[in-house]
Amino acid sequence: MRLRYLEAPVFVNVSSIINQYALSGNVGAGLDFNNSVNSRTTGTIGAGVRWEDRPTITYSPISGQEFSASLLTPIRPEALFALVQSGWPTELMFRLTVNSANGVRDAVENLHHRQQADPRFRELLAVVERLKRKSALGLKRSGLEVKDTTIVLYVNDKNLSEQSRQDIAFLRTTLQLRPEASEFKLVYGLIPDEQDEIAVLTSSVLDIMINLAWQVDVPQPHIDEGRTGPTFVDTALGGPLFIVHHSEEKPEDAYVAIKNRGFWYYIDDRDMITKRTFGVLQILLSLTHGGEDSRGPVISIGGG
């Protein structure tokens, strides 16, 4: 919500988790004597056990090189295509992370520059999905040495149906690829530098979050008063991937909800599309946070 109101966001990592367990017990006994004639001697005995779990979670702000690597680094095109090839939905992954492919652009959703998606881009996503299911489109590595390895997108046009042949023709025409070529080098960028290249301009995780923030539904008075800009409504093929509602009362059936500026903002628990989009963000974040020093929080378990 901070991004929706043009406020600087703060990102943190869980740096350590310390869980301390304590088991303590006590036993007590007593004996009372009474010297009166009809007295009785009484005794008491008691015992108790107590179990304590005291977790301590330490958060550290993301800044400097870590911030750049985790949030400002664009998603690698080869990692994106690998996810799609392994079964992730083409439409979801491309619409979240890709701005353009060989100059064919998706929707622009920021405050100062907005435009609906090129119809060819959304149709291209449907084509890629169909070709993937028919095993007519895939990735392979070229080069024996790791440092010389490039990712190649190849088209298998043997024994295909008429629909698949039309899809391949649309793919080549839309991306301006040579009809006789069957392998294309996958690179990051706005437009290709060489023949038979597919230049994919991808977003960083922060860019994705900003784009999604402008799809959050906010109260109209906040827009009228200049606290934030108008909500972007995706009217192109496929419709919105992310819908966040607002309400003055706390929602009863929310997948996730947060209160900000006197209103509750929430994702409906029955909105499978938005829930899926929300969940994929964490996976995309892990794709950009790599390197030898990348690791999860340290977990320490000790007794007290």
pLDDT of residue 143: 61
The whole-number pLDDT of residue 31 equals 54
Same domain, 83 and 193: yes
Inside any domain, residue 1:
yes
Question: Do the domain assignments include residue 32?
Answer: no
Pair 257, 191 in one domain: no
Kindly state whether residue 251 falls inside one of the protein's structural domains: yes
Residues 265 and 244 both lie in one domain: yes
The domain boundary residue, chosen from 202, 223, 251? 202
Domain co-membership, 62 together with 89: no
Total number of domains in the chain:
2
Which structural domain, as residue segments, surrounds residue 139?
A: 75-202
Residue 4's CB is within 10 A of a number of other CB atoms, namely 23
> What pLDDT is attached to residue 217?
95
Domain presence at residue 244? yes
Name the residue type at position 263: F
Q: What letters, b where the CB count within 10 A reaches 16 and e where it falls short, cover 98-123?
A: bbbbbebbbbebeeeeeebbbeebbb
pTM beyond 0.85: no
Closest CA to 106 of 216, 183, 208: 208
pLDDT of residue 78: 86
Judgement on whether residues 191 and 92 belong to the same structural domain of the protein = yes
The DSSP secondary-structure symbol of 71 reads I
Verify that 241 and 213 share a domain, yes or no: yes
Domain-ending residue, one of 159, 178, 202: 202
Q: How far apart are CA 231 and CA 111, in angstroms?
A: 9
Q: Look at residue 47 and tell me if it is in a domain.
A: no
Same domain, 213 and 197: no
Of 99, 101, 121, residue with least CA distance to 109:
99
**Boundary of a domain, candidates 176, 202, 228:** 202
Q: If the chain, 304 residues long, is cut into consecutive pieces of 10 residues, what is the mean pLDDT of each piece?
A: 84 68 61 57 63 70 69 86 87 94 92 90 94 87 58 80 92 92 90 91 91 94 94 90 94 93 95 92 70 46 46
Pair 198, 105 in one domain: yes
Is 220 in the same domain as 115?
Answer: no
